[in-house]
Amino acid sequence: MSDVTTYSVTTRTRASVVAGLIALALAVVAVVLPAFASRALIQDLFFILTMLSLAQYWNLLAGYGGLVSVGQQAFVGFGAYMLFGPVILWGLNPVPALLLSGVFALLLALPTAFFAFRLHGAYFAIGTWVVAEVVRLSVAMWKDVGGGTGTSLPREARSEMWGVPQIEAMFDVRTSAAQDILAYWIALAVAVATIGGIYAFLRTKRGLSLAALRDNAEAARSVGVDAARIKWTVFLIAAFGTGIVGGLIFLQNGRISPDSAFSVIDWTAFVIFIVVIGGIGTIEGPILGVLVFFFLQTFLADFGSWYLLTLGALGIAIMLFAPRGLWGLISEKTGLHLFPIQRRLVIGPGRDR
């Protein structure tokens, strides 16, 4: 057609190729890790991976979608209960039941969004929290899963999970250690799928329109961006993912109660801390943030309420002095982007992205 110049579009940078290769190598190491690692390390990594996934979903909502929810514990808790219910009542295998966690969290997200999307800014945040409280109180009346005091998964349900006997045989470990390894592997798969999925989404035209809406909502609407649809999309994705992670966390825990499953501190405050300290609105930020959070928790956990105060003070300090978080500081200094989404127009024939 046009014989003047040809163009191609790329998002790839040298840094992103290197980062991709390193990520691949890390993933391989992570998969085979249970062969050498101690059980304590596997448990720590499980914690890190699940918090990382929760943080990525909250970041997608707030950092990319501008939807500052403080009610994500609704999806963690509801997802977890929708795993416990079918496993306890119908004897469903817990591994496939994780899918139910996601699906039910998605179903809960429909009325939640319908209600909360009528609210804006701080009212949206409060609205999501109210929904979480309502769900917590409702679940506390569900006698079959322990009502207000909670319940445990049957021992056999966990020891007979898909994969547990095989892992016992493969690594020659006891059942409880095999359960940890299985949970770790699932958490790893979920974290990789979460990061990969969010990155892929951000590179679509809908992902691009998220950035446009964030920069200038009025102009975005005037060029045909469907703001309502994209908000729904982001909210539902986040709910589904958060529900699965919630199911997984409590599957590994083995015990559930309304207070722990719907804890605003554990599943929202800590998650916000991770995202803010690492760098909101980037994929790299929550990865860095969860590591900082883990080390702070490990070293400060003995100090009780001082631990929470330190986290709070640190979070506020970062918000004031480095609003783009630790990763923001790093990428500002180095220009580094490990997950680039910027499309560059390159003159001359080139490979398509």
Can you give the binding site for another protein, defined by CB under 8 A? 1-2, 5, 7-9, 205, 208-209, 211-212, 214-216, 218-227, 342-345, 352
Q: Quote the DSSP letter at residue 34.
A: G
Least distance between another protein and beta carbon 203 (Å): 9
Question: 7 vs 306, which CB is nearer to another protein?
Answer: 7
3-state secondary structure 127-138: HHHHHHHHHHHH
**Whole-angstrom Cα distance, residue 75 to residue 339?**
27
Q: How many CA atoms lie within 13 A of 118 on its CB side?
A: 6
Question: 77 vs 281, which CB is nearer to another protein?
Answer: 281
Least distance between another protein and beta carbon 1 (Å): 8
Nearest to residue 325, comparing CAs of 120, 61, 55, 57? 55
Phi and psi angles of residue 222, each rounded to the nearest 5 degrees, phi first: -75, -15
Q: Quote the DSSP letter at residue 150.
A: -
Question: 166 vs 342, which CB is nearer to another protein?
Answer: 342
What residues are paired with 8 via a beta bridge? 346
Least distance between another protein and beta carbon 279 (Å): 14
Least distance between another protein and beta carbon 149 (Å): 49
Least distance between another protein and beta carbon 290 (Å): 25
**Residue-wise DSSP of 166-180:** HHHHHHT--HHHHHH
339 Cβ neighbours under 8 A, 6+ residues apart: 16, 19, 195, 199, 202, 282, 283, 284
Question: 1 vs 32, which CB is nearer to another protein?
Answer: 1
What residues are paired with 346 via a beta bridge? 8
User: Cβ of 170: how many Cβ atoms within 10 Å?
Assistant: 13
Helix (H) or strand (E) holding 183: helix 175-202
**Whole-angstrom Cα distance, residue 203 to residue 199?**
6
Least distance between another protein and beta carbon 342 (Å): 6
Nearest to residue 282, comparing CAs of 215, 328, 344, 320? 328
Question: 59 vs 252, which CB is nearer to another protein?
Answer: 59
Least distance between another protein and beta carbon 205 (Å): 4
Least distance between another protein and beta carbon 64 (Å): 12
Question: 217 vs 309, which CB is nearer to another protein?
Answer: 217
Question: 219 vs 316, which CB is nearer to another protein?
Answer: 219
Question: 39 vs 214, which CB is nearer to another protein?
Answer: 214
- Collapsing DSSP to helix, strand or coil, 9 comes out as strand
Least distance between another protein and beta carbon 7 (Å): 4
Which pairing describes strands 7-10 and 344-347: parallel, antiparallel, or unpaired?
antiparallel
Question: 12 vs 155, which CB is nearer to another protein?
Answer: 12
350 neighbors 8 (Cβ within 8 angstroms): yes
